[in-house]
Amino acid sequence: MSKLNSRIPEGPIAEKWTNHKNHMKLVAPNNRPKIDVIVVGTGLAGASAAASLGEMGYNVKAFCFQDSPRRAHSIAAQGGINAAKNYQNDGDSVYRLFYDTIKGGDYRAREANVHRLAEVSGNIIDQCVAQGVPFAREYGGLLDNRSFGGTQVQRTFYAAGQTGQQLLLGAYSALSRQIGLGRVKMYHRHEMMDLVKIDGKARGIIARNLVTGELERHSAHAVVIASGGYGNVYFLSTNAMGSNVSAAWKVHKRGALFANPCYVQIHPTCVPVHGTNQSKLTLMSESLRNSGRIWVPKKKEDAEAIRAGKLKPTQIAEEDRDYYLERRYPAFGNLVPRDVASRAAKERCDAGYGIEANDTNEGVYLDFASEIKSKGKQAAYALGDHDPSEERMIELGKKWIEEKYGNLFQMYQKITDENPYETPMKIYPAVHYTMGGVWVDYNLQSTIEGCFVTGEANFSDHGANRLGASALMQGLADGYFVLPYTVSDYLANEIRTGKIATDSPEFDAAENEVKETIDRFLNNNGSKSVDHFHKRLGLIMWNKVGMGRSEQGLKQAIEEIGLLREEFYKDVYVPGSSDEMNPELEKVMRVADLIELGQLMAVDALHREESCGGHFREEHQDSEGETLRDDENFKYVGAWEYNGSDSKQSTLHKEDLNYEFIKIAARNYK
Amino acid sequence: MSNSVLFKSSIAKKYFMALTGLFLCTFLVGHLLGNLQLIFKTGEEGRRAFNEYAYFMGHNLFIKVLSYTTYIALIVHAVDGIMLTIQNKKARPVKYAYNNPKANSGTASRNMAILGTLILVFLATHMANFWWKAKITEEIPLHSLVKTVDYPVGQNPATGEMITKPIEVTHYLNTNGTYQQFKVKDPSTGQEQKLFEIKNKHEFYDLTSHVKIGDGYKDLHTVVMTFFSKENSSALFGVIFYVISMLVLGYHLWHGFASAFQSLGLNHPLYMPIIKKVGMAFSIVVPFLFAIIPVIIYMNH
Amino acid sequence: MASKFINITLKIWRQKNSKAKGALETYTLNDVSTDSSFLEMLDQLNEQLINEKQSPIAFDHDCREGICGMCSLYINGRAHGPDTGITTCQLHMRMFKDGDTIYVEPWRSRAFPIIKDLMVDRSAFDRIQQAGGFVSVNTSGRTMDANAIPIPKADADKAFEAAACIGCGACVASCKNGSAMLFVGAKVSQYALLPQGKVEATDRVLNMVRQMDEEGFGNCTNTGACEIECPKGISIENIARMNREFLKGALTKA
Ligand SMILES: Cc1cc2nc3c(=O)[nH]c(=O)nc-3n(C[C@H](O)[C@H](O)[C@H](O)COP(=O)(O)OP(=O)(O)OC[C@H]3O[C@@H](n4cnc5c(N)ncnc54)[C@H](O)[C@@H]3O)c2cc1C
Ligand code: SF4
Ligand code: FES
């Protein structure tokens, strides 16, 4: 039996989900309170799932490592959420969203999942509005939209630059309601340490109470993992400091396959690395590319002078600027997908046109001057001034910008001490999102029965590159509208199981393993901090498994990470004890998993001898530096089976991707 | 539930604070208007006006109700304030080792409890000086006026001229508005003759029929004037104390006035700036006017 | 961005757990880049402590871009430090001078017990939210079309401004009364301003205020400190709105 049965329902693409829903099994309301479900993670994906399952009547236990569900990393999403509502009447449709997503993902996503996502996208907006999520509105009182990269329609709903926050708070409010009603029990400041499997089925988890250090056993009839992405394998990323792979990795170690780990999204618009001791990178939302134009100087001398502080960007004449995205991709211009924009920035900087005076001269400009003027002019007209002065236009334009992006501009100014209303922003790509993750079937179930994975933690619907504003959409779609059906379908067979005991040998063994690992680290008596290793891992990953990857680099990375792992286990020092709040202990457990994952990413990247989406193999590009996909040999999901901490030993399983409803073609944004 | 909510909840406490506070503000205005007569009218006219006003305040039913409401408001305001303060202290059992509240809030707003307590102390002495005397001990002299008139004692048989002799006639101001002659005194002989008698400290009774013929006004005006006049050795101290107290009151109002509106939910971007300005003006003008009264009395007497 | 390096002295509150007695400890830290954020400075100090085999300082943080509300810290007498409109993780060391002594303390409130060092337990906020900070709508997605009820832009904008609260607790920390009115007021306002939230507005405000009082927060005396220190600029207008809503509720609810 093949390990990978994607369980895609039969039938035409537009009817698959409806038919499937009609035929899935149900659990009667009176049986639901007898069934326990664990949800690990309360970001958009987890909170929406836990709220929905709680609302249905299941006994839900939800876990997060932060002090509140409201702090999950989803809160940081800025730009917006897509939905095929076509409120703007610009030709959008479910099909188009489906098509854009598949194409944006460079034809490496599963058609059926993506179509389902597009189908339910509209309901997300309805749901959120009903929950009191304050989306941006137009003067007529109806919802406003903006556009995001990789699309030619305006389908992105937003709440200033804080869309993720507002959506998460919406999901958090739904979750809070269920907690208040006693249907969900929330375990905050708790970290899942392992999955417990009994007779091949996911039956519970071992969690650590981060305040007391106690290990706890929790049993359930199904476990949902919604633990987010693993961008922190690069140390510097736009992810929150606590984002990690551990929950997903533990599931992987227990037998779930891990798919496409090498697909990493490098976001083009982040604040460049500056200063020493930097701990993370900050995203400047993609929505800014609606209004900003990206450029570097045309002349190398100018770039050098800027880096040396002798020239200011505002002093560079219009004709001496290279708006390289508009030049290379006239059809999409500054709104090409993220991977394309990122590589283009790297190309310019590698060629010596970078403008930031950091170690690597990595930085390009994102300039709002033209937008300020044109929006100022519009605003002046709206106010009845048909011949506005330059100053008036700039003044009104800045106001417009402030209303749209105020918080982002403020954030930028606080970090860099520069005023982006006056001088262009400096930006550079940074690690942002991970398309890879735990392999799941159409029902979002992993290869472990009863273990579902959702949100950024699964390998999801985004193929080799995610379009902006689609992660929020996916998280909520899965949590609100998919998992309640598919989890119920699974649980229908569990109504006779009864309460699952936590004193079984399986629970004993799992807890002991966790204890041993903790003790091992605490007694290690090494000499270097966890961060020391994390930073070194990050450097290897960024330089060799980053934006441009080569066979040689990847091979080196695999070896170097292997050595790093050995050194880590020998020489890492973890202060404190296990029976107290111990952030260093939390970190060491996470970094241990990140090291294994990092190596697997390199292994996966090495095996994938093509360029697609976020995975760019330098050997596979055309004369203009565009990606060269190899559909003949690599049109599949690469899912890895765990065979020990040396990820070189992992076994590859393939899920072939069949495009029945979309004609597969080279991705073209020109 | 709602009843208990209206009394127990933290927000309800704020309503009571605000309502009583604003009510006390209106009391201040009334009180001030009365007091201003102390300086704006002079002589017997001023004295009479003030004492009549004081009598009115003490006897009008509506005013009586109002004044009892004021006492209640004051007590509620103080007790509620004390309760809030105690609870608020409990809300932060461990203090900051280093705190810089100046950076985020006004001095007045942070010290309402202290300011309120000082005002309470002031009120206590104020009441003891005037209110206690006026209401409880009633050791206040009645509004009287001594006029010297030439009293005809006979006729000069030679000239037919009237022979007069200066005598002092003491008038008491009757609440019916007339000056009632009370007694006469012959300064040369020192002989006195009472025309009626006073019972219950302020009631006039006919000497013979023992019928009540009127009521006297208490002479609070004189009490105040002597209290603050230079002749009184402790007057300067009194004046300074009053002025400082009014400063304290001003500070209390500086925060309290606008704050009351905020507590009642009356914060609107259009109106709040106006309320704030009115509050500031109120907290300056009212205490200032209160304060200059003793100063002026002191200077003039 | 000319980065400079400064040397500083830190007085940091250390407390082993909620029950232990805490005290301010003094540390010196050299070569701090002025481009570092405040938390990166603490990372640097922790690295130094770990290398000296001392126990590192526990503090809460996650997103490090001012949105998750996880970071806290009372720095030199002010919540989130000397700058305004930002969280501690957005505070940069360029706000300090060479040779400065910096006091770092945890949020102090009875309702936020200390977990360790600079970490406090803010779950009281969650419980307030659970008491009524939601619209009781099931997650079927089949409610009504999102554009079925137009909402005046001004109301939507105000609701958004209120909803921008990150639940950090700086309002409580900086309030001399340890009051949580700004946090609760913001949540109550967000829903009170939207038609979807109006349906349950009365119950919501009564329940949330009851929970707030039970948690042991102090009473608001309108000092306005919260509004100044709130990293998201939440206005105390929201408190006034809650007061109105509460009055309405208290007077009409049997
Ligand atoms: C800066 C930034 C901006 C973004 N902007 C956008 C955007 O505009 N539009 C868009 O669509 N997407 C955006 N994204 C992507 C999107 O925000 C994320 O992909 C998405 O929110 C992930 O949601 P999630 O629920 O899967 O995970 P998360 O929100 O990361 O939640 C993870 C949860 O898992 C818990 N957890 C993790 N491990 C454990 C463990 N071991 N034990 C217990 N609990 C655990 C955490 O506590 C947390 O609750 C952005 C991402 C970033 C970084
Ligand atoms: S109101 Fe402001 S200070 Fe208070 S929790 Fe919300 S964001 Fe923080
Ligand atoms: S760490 Fe998230 S707000 Fe500071």
Does residue B128 lie in a domain region?
yes
CB-ligand 3 contact for C87 (6 Å cutoff): yes
Residues B14 and B129 in one domain: yes
Report the distance separating Cα B294 and Cα A181, nearest Å.
Answer: 65
Whether A231 and A246 have beta carbons less than 8 Å apart is answered as no
**pLDDT tens for each residue of C39-57:** 999 999 999 999 999 999 9
- A275: pLDDT strictly greater than 70: no
Residues A273 and A421 in one domain: yes
**pLDDT tens for each residue of A227-272:** 999 999 999 999 999 999 999 999 999 999 999 999 999 999 999 9
Residues A301 and A399 in one domain: yes
3-class secondary structure, B43: helix
- B3: pLDDT strictly greater than 70: no
- pLDDT-derived band at A2, boundaries 50, 70, 90: low
Does residue B211 lie in a domain region?
yes
Residues A383 and A519 in one domain: no
Query: Measuring CA to CA, which residue among A630, A478, A622, A468 is closest to residue A108?
Result: A630
A496 Cβ contact partners less than 8 Å away, ≥ 6 residues apart:
none
Q: Which percentage of chain A shows pLDDT scores above 90?
A: 89
Does residue A629 lie in a domain region?
yes
Residue A279 in contact with partner chain C when CB distance is under 8 A: yes
Does residue A365 lie in a domain region?
yes
Q: What is the pLDDT of residue B185?
A: 86
What average pLDDT does the structure give for chain A? 95
A110 Cβ contact partners less than 8 Å away, ≥ 6 residues apart:
A6, A8, A442, A461, A637, A655, A657
| Residue at B203: amino acid letter | E
* CATH code of residue A597: 1.20.58.100
Report the distance separating Cα A571 and Cα A523, nearest Å.
Answer: 11
Whose tokens are 């409580």? That residue is C172
Mean pLDDT value across residues A448-468: 95
Residues B150 and B264 in one domain: no
Residue B152 in contact with partner chain C when CB distance is under 8 A: no
Q: Which of A409, A431, A453 is the last residue of a domain?
A: A431
- pLDDT-derived band at A1, boundaries 50, 70, 90: very low
Q: Which of A634, A650, A665 is the last residue of a domain?
A: A634
3-class secondary structure, A24: coil
B196 Cβ contact partners less than 8 Å away, ≥ 6 residues apart:
B180, B182, B204, B205, B206, B207, B213
- pLDDT-derived band at B187, boundaries 50, 70, 90: confident
- B2: pLDDT strictly greater than 50: no
What is the dihedral sign for C-alpha A384, A390, A392, A398? positive
Strands C5-14 and C101-105: parallel
Residues A278 and A427 in one domain: yes
**pLDDT tens for each residue of A70-84:** 999 999 998 899 999
Residues A427 and A510 in one domain: no
Residue B174 has what DSSP assignment? Answer: B
What is the dihedral sign for C-alpha A191, A196, A201, A204? negative
What range does the domain containing B55 cover? Answer: 10-133+237-300
Does residue B2 lie in a domain region?
no
pTM of the model: 0.94
Residue A275 in contact with partner chain C when CB distance is under 8 A: yes
At the topology level of CATH, where does C122-252 sit? Fumarate Reductase Iron-sulfur Protein; Chain B, domain 2 (1.10.1060)
Strand-pair partners of A572: A528
If one compares B160 and C198, the residue with the highest pLDDT of the two is C198
Residues B95 and B42 in one domain: yes
Residues B192 and B57 in one domain: no
> Ligand 2, closest atom to CA C186?
1
Identify the weakest region by mean pLDDT among A465-479, B135-149, C147-161.
Answer: B135-149
Residues B196 and B243 in one domain: no
Residues A387 and A523 in one domain: no
Domain at C5-105: CATH code = 3.10.20.30
Residue A146 has what DSSP assignment? Answer: B
Q: How many domains are there within chain A? A: 2
Half-sphere exposure of B259 toward its Cβ, with a 13 Å CA cutoff?
25
Q: Which of A383, A399, A431 is the last residue of a domain?
A: A431
Does residue A397 lie in a domain region?
yes
Q: What is the pLDDT of residue B138?
A: 63
Residues B103 and B159 in one domain: no
User: Is residue A268 within a helix (H) or strand (E), and if so which, with residue range?
Assistant: strand A264-270
What range does the domain containing A342 cover? Answer: 268-431
Taking contacts as CB-CB distances below 8 angstroms, the residues of chain B near C204 are: none
Q: Which of A172, A179, A277 sits opposite C36 (nearest CB)?
A: A277
Taking contacts as CB-CB distances below 8 angstroms, the residues of chain A near C157 are: 134, 137
Half-sphere exposure of B61 toward its Cβ, with a 13 Å CA cutoff?
0
Q: Report the 10 Å Cβ neighbour count for A29.
A: 9
Does residue A125 lie in a domain region?
no
Residue A594 in contact with partner chain C when CB distance is under 8 A: no
Between positions 47 and 106 of C, the ones with CB within 8 A of B are 74, 76-78, 82, 103, 105
Between positions 568 and 587 of A, the ones with CB within 8 A of C are 573, 575-576, 580-581, 583-584
Report the distance separating Cα C173 and Cα C171, nearest Å.
Answer: 5
3-class secondary structure, A379: helix
**pLDDT tens for each residue of A193-204:** 999 999 999 999
Please state the φ and ψ torsions of residue B197, each to the nearest 5 degrees. -120, 160
Does residue A301 lie in a domain region?
yes
Residues B26 and B58 in one domain: yes
Q: How many domains are there within chain B? A: 2
Whose tokens are 């033209």? That residue is A370
* CATH code of residue A397: 3.90.700.10
End-to-end alpha carbon distance in chain C: 62
How many angstroms separate the CA of residue C126 from the nearest CA in chain A?
A: 7
How many angstroms separate the CA of residue C139 from the nearest CA in chain B?
A: 31
Half-sphere exposure of C35 toward its Cβ, with a 13 Å CA cutoff?
18
Query: Measuring CA to CA, which residue among A83, A477, A126 is closest to residue C149?
Result: A126
CB-ligand 3 contact for C169 (6 Å cutoff): no
Residue B269 in contact with partner chain C when CB distance is under 8 A: yes
Ligand 2 pocket residues where CB is under 6 Å: C 165-171, 182-183, 186, 230-232, 234
**Structure token pair of residue A602:** 């390199």
Whose tokens are 């009180």? That residue is B31
Residues B99 and B18 in one domain: yes
Q: What angle (nearest 5°) sits at the alpha carbon of residue B136, between those of residues B131 and B138? A: 90
**pLDDT tens for each residue of A604-643:** 999 999 999 999 999 999 988 889 999 999 999 999 999 9
| Residue at A171: amino acid letter | A
- pLDDT-derived band at B130, boundaries 50, 70, 90: confident
If one compares C205 and B300, the residue with the highest pLDDT of the two is C205
Whether C68 and B87 have beta carbons less than 8 Å apart is answered as no
End-to-end alpha carbon distance in chain A: 44
Report the distance separating Cα A509 and Cα A486, nearest Å.
Answer: 30
Residues B121 and B148 in one domain: no
Q: What is the pLDDT of residue A405?
A: 86
DSSP chain C: ----EEEEEEEEEE-SSSSS--EEEEEEEEEEETTSBHHHHHHHHHHHHHHTTPPPPP---SSSSSSS-----EETTEET-SSSS--GGG-BGGGS-TT-EEEEE----TTS-EEETTEE--HHHHHHHHHH-S----TTS-S--TTSS---HHHHHHHHHHHT-----HHHHHSTT-B-HHHHHHHHHHHHTSHHHHTTHHHHHHHHHHHHHHTT-B------HHHHH-TT---THHHHHHHHHHHHHHHH--
CA of C182 to the centre of ligand 2 (A): 7
In chain C, what are the domain boundaries? Answer: 5-105, 122-252
- B30: pLDDT strictly greater than 50: yes
Q: Which of B164, B186, B216 is the last residue of a domain?
A: B216
Report how far apart, in Å, the C-alpha atoms of A43 and of each of A40, A77, A178, A228 are. Answer: 9, 11, 16, 7
Query: Measuring CA to CA, which residue among A566, A173, B200 is closest to residue C200?
Result: A173
Residue C207 in contact with partner chain B when CB distance is under 8 A: no
**Structure token pair of residue C167:** 């639940």
Taking contacts as CB-CB distances below 8 angstroms, the residues of chain B near C177 are: 84, 88, 91-92
Residues A273 and A414 in one domain: yes
Mean pLDDT value across residues A557-580: 97
Report the distance separating Cα B35 and Cα B28, nearest Å.
Answer: 10
Residues B58 and B184 in one domain: no
Q: What is the pLDDT of residue B94?
A: 95
Q: What angle (nearest 5°) sits at the alpha carbon of residue B245, between those of residues B244 and B248? A: 90
Q: What is the pLDDT of residue B160?
A: 83
Residues B87 and B28 in one domain: yes
Residues A523 and A409 in one domain: no
**Candidates B16, B95, B96, B270, partner chain C, best to mutate (most C CBs within 10 A):** B96
**pLDDT tens for each residue of A365-400:** 999 999 999 999 999 999 998 999 999 999 999 999
Between positions 2 and 21 of B, the ones with CB within 8 A of C are 2, 5-6, 8-15
Helix-helix angle C201-214:B10-40, to 10 degrees: 90
3-class secondary structure, A432: strand
For residues B180, B185, B186, B189, the Cα torsion angle rounded to the nearest 10 degrees is 170
Tell me the best of C68, C166, C236 to mutate to test the pocket of ligand 2, counting ligand atoms within 8 Å of each CB and taking the most.
Answer: C166
Residues B32 and B127 in one domain: yes
